[in-house]
Structure 1
Amino acid sequence: MTLMFLLIIAVVVIFAVKDIRRQLITRPAFEFMKRVLPPLSQTEREAMEAGNVWWDGELFRGSPDWNQLHSYPANRLTDEEKAFLDGPVETLLAMIDDHAIVDSKDLPEAIWQHLRSEKYFALIIPKQYGGLEFSAYANSTIVSRIATRSISVAVTVMVPNSLGPGELLSHYGTQAQKERWLPALADGTEIPCFALTGPTAGSDAGAIPDEGIVCRQEFEGEQVLGVRLTWDKRYITLAPVATVLGLAFKMRDPDSLLGNEAEIGITCALIPTSHPGVEAGNRHNPLGMAFMNGTTRGQDVFIPLDWIIGGVDYAGKGWPMLVECLSAGRGISLPALATATGHLATRSTSAYCAVRSQFGVNIGEFEGVQEALGRIAGNTYILEAARKLTLTAIDSNQKPSVVTAIAKYHMTELGRSVINDAMDIQAGKGIQLGPNNYLAHAYIASPVSITVEGANILTRNLMIFGQGATRCHPYVLAEMEAVADPDAEAGLNRFDSLLMSHLVFSGRNALVSLGHGLTGARFADKPVAGPTAQYYQQLSRLSANLAIVTDLAMLTLGGDLKRREMISARLGDVLSQLYLGSAVLRNYEMDGRQQSDLPLVEYAMAQCLYEAAQALSETLRNFPNRPVAWLSRILTQPLGNHFHRPSDAQAKAVVKAVSQPGCTRERVSHLCHLQESDAGAVALVERAFLAQHAARAVQKTLKQAQRSGKLPRGLAHDALLAAALEQDLITEAQVELMNTAATLCRQAIDVDEFADL
């Protein structure tokens, strides 16, 4: 007992007396951190500084403030944005024939003119320059709704409102540049593209070989200071039709014409495509889609310095400019396409399941089909929830680079899963191309979203946890800065304070994590009562798990964690699923806790919790330091991993919710908007679905009559109706109802055939 008392006193003295603590704890830890903490490169530092921390920071702390999540403003469209959706967008949707567009490999001139005149390329340009200045939520909703009709048209609208000259000029352009270019971009006089990716530098934008040398040369009759550019870019959307080229290049000043720095760095410039030496190049063929995508090149093309976006003061600042704009655009454009795919798949597949019959029953009654349809609807609910939460951040003037990386990776992957399931269910209807096919182009285009704005493999393995662990952790970035301080003594003083806070933080998370594991998180805070309360508690548990495992991983692996991509990717998956689960719960609250939506919420939360816990288990199973892995397992899953995929009952409840007309089905597929006069294939299968639903009572009467022996089995449709009518089992009006449903169902399941292929 005396020995224990003395040990406690010794520990208290060591930590409480600053000089002793600095010698025995802080200084050794300071030297250790210098060796193990991953160093920040200049590009990494600029990427960190370009973004900021939002809800992802709460999830990394181990104790999310759920009231803060609920305090984020709901997504709302202004009257002007609603009018645009109800007017120009409705007009555009009626103009789209996606089969003809893809077949011709271009948009019809009437659609091009409509896009220009109605300012679709100016959704983000400020009103003072003639733009619409819509919110990110409106931007996303417009793109999503178009994408349910045509991916090619949606991408054409999406790209100028994502990373491009319009956004870069709005944020960084000189006043003269804004006045020269923004009005012309807004009214469609100028069509922009932005050239970043090259043959040897895709996701590694910092490695672009394209070069600009500062020099003097004649321009418009006089010698001026400028840049001589050479570039070779590919995968540039709108490049084949663009009139103005945004260009990223590495700027060099070997003759010190601007100062003493020979390597100025990545710079962005704006160049008319009519400028001498600019080569538009040829078109690519991205999986047969019709949107314009191609190459651009230039050899020794001279431009004056004032063509640099932001002027000469922004020379060398292109990387943080691009990262900041990408972090916003990445959260709008590709998630919009993925969500549109989900809405299209949910509406069309739930309808198809009701109109297509096999073995005498609707295919929606087969449990195998229900399993896939449950995934479609459940994942679509996650997609819509994540879309809204991410757009809330962007519309609140946040630049959450980790959150938008999560959205880009996981939403495009969910979109791929949804369209795969839809194709499996609709089978022959899904694979036969033609005007009656509404799934194939979304299916074909899915890998495009997976690939662009940073390939998904790199987004998952390098960005989400790679940035999140440093940027979102409450202490690590500050500790790294303290360790790197040139003034070692000042750095040691800062590090001492940070280390003590970090130790308290880690100790608290270890105890909370263990406590939640032993109690099933039953005593964790919850901001609501009712059926969703348990999900907040389980997310809090997994947040504490992530916090302590992250600390142990960074402590034991240090800089090697950056190269352990499989480990960091799985930890990123934990963070991502916590984010998606948060989005689901917030969406349920924002929609007013609709009881009919609860099956979708329960399915989605079971999926998110299972994926997070599974990623954590796989991390620990593969963790190279086995003693640390065992300790982590005790702290996070002391009684094992008891999270499971959604149950069969949950899948069936989801299918029931989306297999009948009503508000739940509308909410989970509202972006797939159908006009009253719509003659398209999705509208046709929807009308067949509604007709089939209206005829259910008659169908039930006929089946009961067959079971009782009043009507013979095996009769063809017309003969069965005639026999039932003769026995007064149904009326003439009901016969007409059944015939209408049968006709529409046949039209809905028909596929195209061609005589001239």
Structure 2
Amino acid sequence: MPAFALEPEQTAWCARLRTLAAQRLRPLADKGEPGRVNRPLVAELGRLGLISRLFDSGALALCLMRESLAYACTEAETALALQGLGAHPVHAHGTPAQRERWLPRVADGTAIAAFALSEPGAGSDAAALALRADGEQAEDAQGAGTQPDAALGGGPVAEADGPRRWRLTGEKCWISNAPEADFYTVFARTIPGAGARGVTAFLVPADRPGLTGTALEMLSPHPLGTLGLDAVPVTADDVLGETDRGFRVAMGTLNLFRPSVGAFAVGMAQAALDATLDHTRRRDAFGGKLMDLQTVAHQVAEMALRTDAARLMVYAAATAYDAAAPDVPRRAAMAKLLATETAQYVVDTAVQLHGARALRRGHLLEHLYREVRAPRIYEGASEVQRGIIAKELYATHAASLTPREAP
């Protein structure tokens, strides 16, 4: 591990995490069914206290966890990250009742969380959400505002300005942990045609009537699926944050997790680099070792250079988040962009230097080659990150101009 901003205790903790991942988590991951939630693995993450650290620590600690776990067990890293992604809106914006019901179970690994933002027509363009939240006013009779709603567990529905209950209708897709999660953070449109405005975040338990899902088979065998919502009932008690301001909930969550996606990528890149160092040092070729060939040595040097550069940017973005710096969106986008693109390069180069053996099913690099592709797409594709970076740069530049310089 490099020494950037890391205390000896942090470096030692990362080493312990890599050991735990190899010895206790890797065997459970190997027993899992591809494309399904591995509940024993999630439960072990809970027993080790790693899930609770998602909520007790800052962004840098999250990045260190994801990088360290990814180095030895990408499945464990992904399971941890998905718990955090799905439950962070509850931790950051939930009511006391929501937090009390769900966060202890998420932390101990007995409840699976999911973040349901993407839709068939709104992937990278999250502001284009179409899933509807159709408001319903309570009937004006005999204090209708306190009538129980059996579909929601019999609790009272109070009247206020605007709807106090809704029906969610539409489809979500590319949702990690769907359709097996125990609850979903669902983002729905409460004001039609309002773009980023008019979106509300709802906490939707998986047993709500009208909620269905289907698993998807992907290149990398993560649990991923679609959700169908057919007039799924929710009330004001299910809202996360403020009504019509759910886009802030989504972006706040992504600003935290985007640098840590970069950390996941850095962990994979480091694993590929270390495997390449070992292989080229041992492999006989052209009367010597593979590492003696200048072209190979230069490729390995480039892999190391890019990996360390990506790591530094990830740590810098996480540190900025923990310090509540104003440029977090730009730094988070830069970290995710550089690290995921770097990991793709490093893993691909490692495969090339290993030759055909790296393509054999079960080889570490065959596994990493399938794992490394998706992070360049999810939580905002690389092209989206470039757009965020440019937007933030121009906004900062405009704000720095004097009145005479401004157009």
What TM-score do the two structures reach when normalised by structure 2? Answer: 0.85
CA distance in 1, matches of 2:226, 2:262: 25
Q: Secondary structure at the match of 1:194?
A: strand
How many aligned residue pairs are there? 382
CA distance in 2: counterparts of 1:98 and 1:441, whole angstroms: 16
The equivalent position to 1:91 in structure 2, one of 1, 10, 20, is: 20
How far apart are the structure 2 equivalents of 1:370 and 1:89? 27
Aligned counterparts of 1:369 and 1:89: Cα–Cα separation in 2: 28
Q: What secondary structure sits across from 2:254 in the alignment? A: helix
Q: Give the structure with higher Rg (CA).
A: 1
In structure 2, C-alpha distance between the alignment counterparts of 1:93 and 1:447, rounded to whole Å: 23
Work out whether 1:247 is the aligned partner of 2:186: yes
Is structure 2 residue 400 aligned with structure 1 residue 499? no
1:371 deviates by 2.3
Equivalent position to 1:188, from 105, 109, 112: 109
**1:14 alignment counterpart:** none
Q: 1:121, CA displacement in angstroms?
A: 3.0
1:101/1:107 contact within 8 Å kept: no
RMSD: 2.8
Whole-Å separation in 1 of the counterparts to 2:40 and 2:238: 33
Asked if the contact 1:345–1:376 (Cα under 8 Å) also holds between the matched residues in 2, the reply is no
Distance 1:381 1:74 in 2: 14
The equivalent residue for 1:363 is 290
Does 1:475 find its partner at 2:400? Answer: yes
Whether 1:425 aligns to 2:353 is yes
Match of 1:631 in 2: none
Is 1:117 the counterpart of 2:117? The answer is no
Once the two structures are superposed, the pairs formed by residues 444-483 of structure 1 within 5 Å of their partners are 444-460=370-386, 462-471=387-396, 473-475=398-400
Q: For 1:288-341, what per-residue CA distance to the aligned partner results, in whole angstroms no more than 9, with x for missing partners?
A: x2321111111111111111013xxx0011112222221221112x11122112
Contact conserved, 1:75 with 1:388, CA < 8 A, in 2? no
1:211 is displaced (CA, Å) by: 0.6
Task: Work out the CA distance in 2 between the residues paired with 1:214 and 1:169.
Answer: 22
Secondary structure, aligned partner of 1:271: strand
Summarize the Cα distance change of 1:89–1:276 in structure 2 as closer, same or farther, 3 Å threshold. Answer: farther
Quick one: distance in 1 between partners of 2:100 and 2:74? Answer: 32
Q: Is the 8 A contact 1:156 1:292 kept in 2?
A: no
Cross-structure match for 1:643: none
Q: Please say if residues 83 and 106 of structure 2, whose CA atoms lie closer than 8 Å, have aligned partners that are also in contact.
A: no
CA distance in 2, matches of 1:300, 1:443: 40
Q: Distance in 2 between matches of 1:147 and 1:370?
A: 25
1:309 matched to 2:237: no
**Aligned-partner SS, 2:62:** helix
| CA distance in structure 1 between the aligned counterparts of 2:178 and 2:37, rounded to whole angstroms | 15
2:369 paired residue number: 443
Name the SS of the counterpart of 1:499 in structure 2: coil
- CA distance in 1: counterparts of 2:198 and 2:9, whole angstroms: 41
2:384 counterpart letter in structure 1: L
Looking at secondary structure, tell me which structure has more helix per residue.
Answer: 1
d(CA) in 1 for partners of 2:342, 2:13: 31
Which of these residues, 173, 189, 194, is aligned with residue 234 of structure 1? Answer: 173
Counterpart CA distance in 2 for 1:368 and 1:252 is 58
Q: 1:85 to 1:99 in 2, by over 3 A?
A: closer
Offset at 1:421?
1.1
Matched to 2:277, the amino acid is S
Q: How does 1:71-470 map to 2 (within 5 A)?
A: 74-76=5-7, 86=16, 90-95=19-24, 96-97=26-27, 100=30, 104-106=34-36, 110-125=40-55, 133-161=56-84, 163-164=85-86, 166-216=87-137, 219-220=149-150, 221=154, 224=157, 225-252=164-191, 265-279=198-212, 281-287=213-219, 289-310=220-241, 314-332=242-260, 334-398=261-325, 400-434=328-362, 437-460=363-386, 462-470=387-395
CA distance in 2, matches of 1:109, 1:230: 29
Secondary structure of 2:134's counterpart equals strand
Deviation at 1:234, TM superposition (A): 0.8
| Counterpart contact for 2:134–2:166, Cα < 8 Å | yes
Q: Distance in 2 between matches of 1:284 and 1:146?
A: 25
1:105 CA displacement: 4.4
Q: CA-to-partner distance for each residue in 1:430-459, whole Å, 9 max, x for gaps? A: 11122xx11111112222011111111232
Deviation at 1:77, TM superposition (A): 7.4
- CA drift of 1:98 comes to 9.0
**Letter paired with 1:464:** I
Does structure 1 retain, via aligned residues, the 8 Å contact 2:197–2:247?
Answer: no
CA offset at residue 474 of structure 1? Answer: 3.7
Residues 230, 105 of structure 1: alpha-carbon distance in 2 compared, 3 angstrom cutoff:
closer
Q: Tell me if the contact between 2:176 and 2:225 (Cα under 8 Å) persists in the aligned partners.
A: yes
Does the aligned pair in 2 maintain the 1:98–1:149 contact within 8 Å?
no
Change (3 A) 1:118 1:454: same
Distance 2:205 2:32 in 1: 29
The amino acid that maps onto 2:206 is: T
Tell me the secondary structure at the aligned position of residue 198 of structure 2. Answer: strand
Q: Percent of aligned positions with the same letter in both sequences?
A: 23
- Judged with a 3 Å threshold, the aligned counterparts in structure 2 of structure 1 residues 90 and 374 are, in CA distance, closer, same or farther, namely closer
2:135 partner letter: V
| Greater strand proportion | 2
Residue type of the partner of 1:404? A
Q: Distance in 2 between matches of 1:106 and 1:100?
A: 12
Q: Give the CA deviation at 1:193.
A: 0.3
Distance 2:7 2:98 in 1: 32
| Structure 2 partner of 1:130 | none
* Gapped regions of structure 1 (runs ≥ 5): 1-72, 126-132, 254-260, 477-497, 504-554, 556-757
Residue 331 of structure 1 aligns to a residue whose secondary structure is: helix
Q: Distance in 1 between matches of 2:23 and 2:290?
A: 31
Asked whether the 8 Å contact 2:28–2:40 carries over to 1, the reply is no
* Superimposed CA distance per residue, residues 667-725 of structure 1 (whole angstroms, 9 cap, x where no aligned partner): xxxxxxxxxxxxxxxxxxxxxxxxxxxxxxxxxxxxxxxxxxxxxxxxxxxxxxxxxxx
For the residue of structure 2 that corresponds to 1:282, the secondary structure is strand
Task: For 1:385 and 1:359, locate their aligned partners in 2 and report how far apart those are by CA, in whole Å.
Answer: 37
Amino acid at match of 1:299: D
> What amino acid is the match of 1:201?
A
Note the residue ranges of structure 2 that are not aligned, 5 or more in a row.
139-147, 158-163
The alignment partner of 1:299 has SS state of strand
Distance verdict in 2 for CA 1:293–1:222, change over 3 Å? closer
Secondary structure of the residue aligned to 1:315 is coil
TM-superposition CA deviations, 1:31-51 (whole Å, max 9, x none): xxxxxxxxxxxxxxxxxxxxx
